[in-house]
Structure formats: C-alpha cells, structure tokens
Copies of this chain bind each other. A is one copy, B any other.
Amino acid sequence: MSELNIGIVGLGRLGRRHALNLRDRIRGAQLVAACSPLDEELGWAAEQLPGVHRHHTLEAMLAEPQVQAVFLVTPTALHAEQIIACLRAGKHVFCEKPLALNVEDCQKVEAVAADYPQLKAMVGFVRRFDASYQDAAEKLQQGLVGQPYLLRSQTCDLNDENGFFVKFAPSSGGIFMDCSIHDIDLARWLLGSPKPVRVWATGTNALHPALADCGDVDNGVAMLEFADGKLACFYASRTQAHGHETLTEIFASAGRLSVGANPRANRVDISDAHGVRNECVQDFYQRFAEAFVSEAQHFVDAVLHNQPLALSLADATEATRIGLAITQALRSKQVVEL
C-alpha cells in the first residue's frame, strides 16, 4: 500500500488543521472523506477540501469502502464509541486526546481493539512528536543526564478574557483532564512508564470564579508518586498573560533537561523601553504546529508500512486513570491512592 485513504470527523478549529495537514503535508495520505453534523463545517470542507466526500454521520462515512483510516477530532464524550465504530468497520483510527473521561470507556476501547490486531489505533499525544521533546527523550535514552527521578511539567494557556473555555468546563473533565493529560503522558513516557501509586492536587480560581460551579479551577497543581520512587509535579493554568507555555523539566542524576523554558514565538528579540524581550507563542497550536504534522505522518507511515505505533491505547488509558485520580484529589482535598 503506498497511499492511505483517510476520512476526517470533526472540522472545528483543530479538525480543520488536521484536515489541511492531511491535504498538504502528510506523505502517503489521501484525504477522501469528511464528516460533521454541522453544515457550516461541511461548507468549509466543500471549499477547502475539493474532491472530498462529505458526510453528516460517522456511519455514512464508515460505509465508504475507500476510507481506510479515520481521524477523530470530536468531543471527548464521543471518542470511545466512535473509535469502536471505526474499528468494527475495519478502519484504522487516530483519535484526539484524551481517550475518554472514565476508565471503563478506555478499557472498552482497548478490548475491542484487541479483537482487531491488524488495525492501528492511536490517541494523539502530540507532544511525543515534537522535535524538542523527541530530542529530550533521545538524550535521556543516551544517558546524557543520567537517571531521571523527577519530572515537572506544565500546560499554561494564555488567558482568554471571554472565558470561552468556561462554557465547556462542565464537559471538559476539568483542567487536569483537559490540559494536564499531556503532561501526565509525558511523565510516563520520559520516566519509563513507572506504576503510579499516589496523587495529591489543589487549585484556585484566579480570574474565572464561575468555574467553581462545576468544581473546576483555572489554576491547578498536582503531585504524583510512582512505585519506583520517581515523582511528577504538574501545573495547569488558564490565566497566563504572556502566551501559551508548555514547559517540562526532567531532573536526573547527572543533569536536568528542560523543554520550552521560554515560549518564544520565533528568533526575534526586541530591546526597547520594556527591556530585552521576546514575544511568545499564543496557543498550543502555534507551539506544536509541526508536531501535529509529525504525529499524523507517524500514524500514516505506521499504517502504510505496518510499523508499531509510538504509543498504545494502554498508554492513553493510563493517562486517563491518573488524570481522574488527580481530579478526585482536587475535589476531595485528600490524597488519592491509585
């Protein structure tokens, strides 16, 4: 097989970016179908994705024999059932993170996937495909800084004055499921997938008190202990003033690696009355635009050449499991044992 026919589901902001990457940037990818319940989104597809078949329902799209793989960029609540539907229709499937907001759904997906070993299924933990994170992972592998024992990772969003995300808070699973899920996956990946044993979390509402109505916070911190003694600390924020900052530090026996210490937008520095400064990336997509390409390329290559995926559904399940424990800790103010 030298080309993979792909259908995409969900053409919101991130869905459109995936669609354009599949159209323009992914070698071996052929975007052949697009699906959305919304006319506005299909209208965008009609204009930007010429020749692509448009569908209002996943079922209709899955019925197309030419579709070999599906990209799901849909609300999290739909992920589990949609992945299962894709697999049962014999399609490879890529799904945006997180896999689900409860462990049962994750396990259901895993069980179905086990019935289709010839199909690839992957959840999009995009940071694993970022060049800087990959460089850090290689350096760890090579032992450049010795044995890691502590990882700190944060996902800090530029404050949205309109509080757009507040509306979505009730269905997002909370700040840790929405933002820190990436950091949790990074911790597992970079620390060698140790067994988590214990979490604690707390948080505050600095700028968006309305979040309290659904038990959420706009700034949350958490600590995670692993069975082998390794530690992880997480910070998630909706209220930064300077931009989007994804920062991960890995403390190891002979040194420390950090990824993203200054979220500079580019190589320009400005020296003026404000001092010496650089502008910052404004959102996660600006930060990870190339990683989204590498991620999709990795998935497409894995399908075309039947290569192993960089991460498994079990990885996604574990991230959800830890994320839920942290969320429970935030709400209970108690240590949660895993």
| A residues lining the B interface (CB < 8 Å) | 24-25, 27, 131-132, 135-136, 139, 144-147, 149-150, 152, 198, 200, 202-207, 219, 221, 223, 225, 229-231, 233, 235, 237, 239-243, 245, 251, 253-280, 333-335
Tell me the complex Cα distance, A245–B262, Å.
17
Asked whether A279 lies within 8 Å of B268 as measured between CB atoms, the reply is no
Tell me the complex Cα distance, A261–B258, Å.
12
Asked whether B271 lies within 8 Å of A241 as measured between CB atoms, the reply is yes
Asked whether A255 lies within 8 Å of B270 as measured between CB atoms, the reply is yes
Asked whether A258 lies within 8 Å of B271 as measured between CB atoms, the reply is yes
Asked whether B251 lies within 8 Å of A257 as measured between CB atoms, the reply is no
A150 with B276, Cβ < 8 A, contacts A200-B202, A256-B242 known? no
Give the shortest distance, in Å, between A39 (CB) and chain B (any CB). Answer: 27
Return the chain B residue nearest A198 by Cβ: B333
A149 with B219, Cβ < 8 A, contacts A204-B230, A242-B275, A280-B275 known? yes
Tell me the complex Cα distance, A135–B257, Å.
26
Asked whether B150 lies within 8 Å of A242 as measured between CB atoms, the reply is no
Tell me the complex Cα distance, A246–B290, Å.
22
Asked whether B273 lies within 8 Å of A242 as measured between CB atoms, the reply is yes
Asked whether A242 lies within 8 Å of B27 as measured between CB atoms, the reply is no
Asked whether A150 lies within 8 Å of B267 as measured between CB atoms, the reply is no
10 chain-A/chain-B pairs, Cβ below 8 angstroms: A131-B266, A132-B268, A139-B268, A152-B235, A241-B255, A241-B256, A245-B271, A254-B272, A271-B280, A275-B280
Asked whether B258 lies within 8 Å of A242 as measured between CB atoms, the reply is no
Tell me the complex Cα distance, A144–B269, Å.
12
Asked whether B251 lies within 8 Å of A150 as measured between CB atoms, the reply is no
Give the shortest distance, in Å, between A284 (CB) and chain B (any CB). Answer: 14
Asked whether B221 lies within 8 Å of A204 as measured between CB atoms, the reply is no
Q: Which residues of B contact A269 (CB under 8 A)?
A: 257-259, 261
Give the shortest distance, in Å, between A79 (CB) and chain B (any CB). Answer: 29
Question: B145, B206, B260, B275: which contacts A267 (Cβ < 8 A)?
Answer: B260
Q: Which residues of B contact A261 (CB under 8 A)?
A: 261, 267, 269
Asked whether A219 lies within 8 Å of B240 as measured between CB atoms, the reply is no
Q: Which residues of B contact A270 (CB under 8 A)?
A: 139, 144-145, 255-257, 275
Tell me the complex Cα distance, A139–B267, Å.
13
Asked whether B267 lies within 8 Å of A254 as measured between CB atoms, the reply is no
Give the shortest distance, in Å, between A22 (CB) and chain B (any CB). Answer: 13
Asked whether A280 lies within 8 Å of B276 as measured between CB atoms, the reply is yes
Tell me the complex Cα distance, A257–B267, Å.
10
Q: Which residues of B contact A132 (CB under 8 A)?
A: 266-268
A-B contact sample (4 more), CB < 8 A, given A257-B269, A258-B269, A275-B279: A149-B204, A200-B200, A242-B275, A255-B273
Asked whether A277 lies within 8 Å of B274 as measured between CB atoms, the reply is yes
Interface core residue of A205, A206, A207 (most chain B CB under 10 Å)? A206
Asked whether A256 lies within 8 Å of B231 as measured between CB atoms, the reply is no
